Amino acid sequence: MQAWLATLMRNIFLSQRRRDGLAVRHARQVAMQERRSEAPARQDAHIYIGQMWSAMHRMKDHERNLLSAIALEGMELEQLSQRHGLPTGTIKSRAARARAKLRLALGEQAATAGRAKRPQAASGVPGGIE
């Protein structure tokens, strides 16, 4: 009986050691995957933000104000339509045209900077939003 108990205790001990070893290996693998999945810092992000602000400052005031209200202030289209006394569809189409104009301006800046061109808006976008 004593030999049986000793064998049982030994097997339980070995099973626990194996389980602990698996947990440690799993924790190491998870940590390595997390390190690999971390996105590298974008060193050129501040340049892109500067280009975006430059492009926005070349836009008309009402276009810039509309994009700022939507993107920076987080206003809903319905709020803007009530504020300006215009239908929501009008605000939506003006915002779409302003975004297209901004994308076009950013694409042109990327091309002049020697980088790959960003996707451009479809041609035929009216110059004014009004």
The total of other beta-carbon atoms located within 10 Å of residue 18's CB is 10
Domain boundaries, the chain: 47-112
Chain centre distance of CA 56: 20
Residues 40-59 have a mean pLDDT of 82
Measured at the CA of 113, the angle between CA 107 and CA 40, to 5 degrees, comes to 85
Residues 107-125 have a mean pLDDT of 54
pLDDT at 106 over 60: yes
Residues 23-31 have a mean pLDDT of 81
What's the whole-model pTM score?
0.51
**Fold exhibited by the domain 47-112:** Arc Repressor Mutant, subunit A (1.10.10)
Residues 17-34 have a mean pLDDT of 80
